[in-house]
Structure 1
Amino acid sequence: MSVTAQSVWDNCLSFIKDNIQPQAYKTWFEPIKPVKLTNKALSIQVPSKFFYEWLEEHYVKLLKVALVKELGNTARLVYIIKMENTYGNKKPFTEKIPSANRSNVKAQEVDVPIKNKSPELKNPFVIPGIRNVKIESQLNPNYNFDNFLEGDSNRLARSAGMAVANKPGGTSFNPLLIFGGVGLGKTHIAHAIGVEIKDKYPEKTVLYISAEKFTQQYIESVKKNTRNDFIHFYQLIDVLIIDDVQFFSGKSGTQDVFFHIFNHLHQNGKQVILTSDKAPVDMQDIEQRLLSRFKWGLSAELQTPDFETRVSIVKNKLYRDGVEMPDDIIEYVAKNIKSNVRELEGAIISLIAQSSFNKKEVTIDLAKQVVEKFVKNTKREVSIDYIQKVVSDYFQMDVSTLQSKTRKRHIVQARQLAMFFAKKFTKASLASIGSQIGKRDHATVLHACKTVDNLSSTDKQFRKYVEDLTKKLSL
């Protein structure tokens, strides 16, 4: 039986498979293709330079033992890197590199040169004319885990954030997508993860950026013909945090460039953290290939904090500001401002300001005045519970009837209207709406919204229901 590259490699794989974890074998050895066997030198094809570097760093001894076992002490291994260049060059490139630790071999020439290697990497955060090679993290140290209080509404997101901070790129939470309505702490927790990583791993390059600024930088790079510099810069990052990723909606060029950056970072074991005002399933005009990657890791929802959590947030805010306040006033504020953390903290700041500027003692009456003005001047966020109550009252039924499994036409329509208005007036995800309105799934909510849209345009009586309820919920 003649010895071929395939037969030698198959025997090597049998040995390797017995000596490493199944997942590592699948990731790092299954994609390799044996190409040729020449004078005890086995050439293997790998999909990227990173792939080759990883093999050399982590599995070179195992490869050496396997190869010597098959071909003897003079065995040599040559890597052939073959991949499509994702940045616009049409030619794939092939580079032959002899394995490290083989001092008797000279490096072979590159068949097709790798283009786009810039001697001076452009940092989009550096002002032109100012020399600055260090990448600043753009993190706000005031946003940390110490002042991000845990409650039922944020426990999953906070715990996942802590896990990522302890082991960036080394957990299954990659990417970590944190989503939820305005003022619930998405930006806070994103910064907190970055701040914690910088503290634990000072050598890692961490970068926080809003999706809007990322898009502006990308547009600028296209104008100046420095797109590849832009891509290469972001490929250097160890931990990339992008805030408000829903801003990419409809921007195909930005989505395309982020897709390549994301792939590179993820394949290289780097950490990606994203925030959004909605779950991946609810994002509009985002390419399917990006949405599928958003779902690779963990999507954690931040919900409206419950009463106990709101009380804790107020007390923590007062403690940090060195202010004392009676418990009954704290509870009054927490009870009446429910929508989000930002409004809650804003009300406390207003209360302290009113008290100190007017030299008034903080009383329950002062608290009522401040909360009343604050709530009046703040756009009210309608809750799903409130929507269900308004719709149930309008159709003269109980909320439990609205949520029931019955298929009676008028109850089904009321339920569909509640789902439609929950999507219209709240920031809740479709899954969250379905869960709160009779434990339905997101597909049922999506169907309900389409049905309401269709009936509104074809059924005069149904259109009146929509108009009446819109007025009631907009008051």
Structure 2
Amino acid sequence: MLWDKTQDILKDTLSSSVYNLWIEPLKCLEVRDDSIYLLSPDRYFSAYVAQKFLSVIEATVKESGSVQRRVVLCEDDRAAKSESAAPKAQLRLPTVPQNNSSIRALHPRYTFNEFMVGESNILAESACKAISMHDDSFGSCLYINSTTGLGKSHLTHAIAHRVFKESPMTRLHYVTAQQFAAEMVRNIQTKTMDSFKQKYHDQCDMLLVEDVHSLTGKKKTQEELNEVLDCLIKSGKRVVMTSNQTPRELVGIDNDFRSRMSSGLVTSIKEPDAATRFRIVEKKATLHQLGIDEDGVDYLAQHIRGDVRKVESAIVAIRAKSRLMGGQVDMDMIRQVVAEVVGGDKVLTIAMISDLIASQFKVSLGDMKSKSRKKSLTFPRQVAMFLCRKYTDDSLAEIGRAFNRDHSTVLHSIKKVTTMTARDASVNAQLELLNGKVKNL
């Protein structure tokens, strides 16, 4: 079958992650002399595929069938049968405003159900759920900031999915700050700013703006967006913004605009903790139908931090390698993938830091973990606990167990070293030297 051959070629041409996300879900409805009709999950999925992959798909279809065919993406299996018929517009009551929503292509998997909640993001997730349901528990204006890959776009996509499912007549505009700026410039050039203002001031129930940090130094765009925010917020409309920094950290931003962005809830998404990373790895492995034992999941969770997209990349690579090995996944394969795909970022552990401190102070690990209270052992032990707390995600209790102590002893050691560092220049210099060596492990 033509589409089967096309898929086989695309599977070898595209990366496995791209193929699995954007090509595999497409189903062939009908093949005609001049066209091939593909069924996609929804119109947002179609829009993204059309923008990113349509030319590649059409070229591959020709390669598979030796005839140039137009690729038509459909969200309804009746579309292929009635393409030539003019679509009937949905009837609208005179009192209902026309829905002129404008959005980015939504990722079908970026929903609230697929979002992994932990301590690092629970406030942002709760606020997004509330605002998507017109619940004013967190207010009507929300600002989310985080570094890349921690879930800002996932949450904004989830809001749009929820809004279109629960309140399809909502006039929602979802843009990046760059898209907003480009649209404004086009309207200035064509002298149609009245329609631009009408769209965002009068024909908008909800506004999602991503990456507002990209407006740094763009004074005119800041003024225009600030005016839009002022109008919407005063009208009780919903606004969600995302950025890589908090409003007060942004440079090159007008103070009035900064104040407007801060008028509602400002929340940050932090890096997920170890437990959340573990659940993320488990979830991604399940989605990709990949069997990884608990030790493997734990290794990935410990060694892949920050950008959650790295987890997806690692899982895809492990699945590809496991297929070549007959479906088997072992720790050597996982370690290799972490080193090759993720970059091999070394995660500091209590054992690594303990070994370093023991060698630097010329004491044995056994003595350092013993019950001895000799000063020659007490100080290295306290320094090791201090550095373990600083450079690992392990809890006070976990650090205490590693040194045969309880969490209160670890807390005392941290306070002791902190005080000594502040009062004694030689201890401070010693700690600076040890900090450098730990970072180079």
CA distance in 2, matches of 1:188, 1:386: 33
What is aligned with 1:439? none
- Gaps of at least 5 residues in structure 1 are 1-131, 391-397, 419-464
Identity percentage over the alignment? 28
SS of 1:345's equivalent in the other structure is helix
CA distance in 1, matches of 2:129, 2:270: 18
The alignment covers a number of residue pairs equal to 283
Specify the code of the residue in structure 2 equivalent to 1:201.
S
Asked whether the 8 Å contact 2:318–2:329 carries over to 1, the reply is: yes
TM-score normalised by length of structure 2? 0.57
Asked whether the 8 Å contact 2:338–2:344 carries over to 1, the reply is: no
Equivalent of 2:334 in 321, 346, 367: 367
Equivalent of 2:146 in 177, 180, 192: 180
Displacement after TM superposition at 1:196 (Å): 1.1
- 1:223-275, CA deviations, whole angstroms, 9 ceiling, x for partnerless residues? 22222322221221111111111111111010000011111111111100011
Instruction: Indicate whether 1:356 and 2:348 are aligned.
Output: no
| Distance 1:375-1:135 versus aligned 2 partners, 3 A rule | closer
Equivalent positions of 1:266-345 (< 5 A) are: 266-345=233-312
Asked whether the 8 Å contact 1:179–1:275 carries over to 2, the reply is: yes
- Gaps of at least 5 residues in structure 2 are 1-97, 349-386, 393-412
Instruction: Indicate whether 1:157 and 2:131 are aligned.
Output: no
| Distance 1:387-1:335 versus aligned 2 partners, 3 A rule | closer
What is aligned with 1:203? 169
Equivalent positions of 1:179-258 (< 5 A) are: 179-235=145-201, 236-258=203-225
Asked whether the 8 Å contact 1:249–1:286 carries over to 2, the reply is: yes
- 1:20-52, CA deviations, whole angstroms, 9 ceiling, x for partnerless residues? xxxxxxxxxxxxxxxxxxxxxxxxxxxxxxxxx
Instruction: Indicate whether 1:144 and 2:119 are aligned.
Output: no
CA distance in 2, matches of 1:400, 1:373: 40
| Distance 1:323-1:400 versus aligned 2 partners, 3 A rule | same
CA distance in 1, matches of 2:130, 2:423: 47
| Distance 1:388-1:309 versus aligned 2 partners, 3 A rule | closer
Asked whether the 8 Å contact 1:389–1:399 carries over to 2, the reply is: no
Displacement after TM superposition at 1:173 (Å): 2.6
Asked whether the 8 Å contact 2:177–2:209 carries over to 1, the reply is: yes
CA distance in 2, matches of 1:329, 1:172: 39
CA distance in 2, matches of 1:305, 1:246: 23
Displacement after TM superposition at 1:366 (Å): 0.4
- 1:66-104, CA deviations, whole angstroms, 9 ceiling, x for partnerless residues? xxxxxxxxxxxxxxxxxxxxxxxxxxxxxxxxxxxxxxx
CA distance in 1, matches of 2:418, 2:180: 43
- 1:129-167, CA deviations, whole angstroms, 9 ceiling, x for partnerless residues? xxx984343333321100001111111111111111121
Displacement after TM superposition at 1:470 (Å): 9.4
* Bigger Rg, structure 1 or 2: 1
| Distance 1:369-1:408 versus aligned 2 partners, 3 A rule | same
Asked whether the 8 Å contact 1:401–1:411 carries over to 2, the reply is: no
- 1:86-132, CA deviations, whole angstroms, 9 ceiling, x for partnerless residues? xxxxxxxxxxxxxxxxxxxxxxxxxxxxxxxxxxxxxxxxxxxxxx9
SS of 2:267's equivalent in the other structure is strand
Specify the code of the residue in structure 1 equivalent to 2:323.
S
| Distance 1:172-1:150 versus aligned 2 partners, 3 A rule | closer
Specify the code of the residue in structure 2 equivalent to 1:143.
Y
SS of 2:209's equivalent in the other structure is strand
SS of 1:142's equivalent in the other structure is coil
What is aligned with 2:134? 167
- 1:356-394, CA deviations, whole angstroms, 9 ceiling, x for partnerless residues? 24545111110011011123277999xxx899669xxxx
SS of 1:159's equivalent in the other structure is helix
Which shows bigger deviation, 244-253 or 323-332?
323-332
Specify the code of the residue in structure 2 equivalent to 1:323.
L
Asked whether the 8 Å contact 1:178–1:300 carries over to 2, the reply is: yes
CA distance in 2, matches of 1:164, 1:256: 25
- 1:159-218, CA deviations, whole angstroms, 9 ceiling, x for partnerless residues? 1111111216x4443311111111100110111112112211111112221111111112
| Distance 1:364-1:167 versus aligned 2 partners, 3 A rule | same
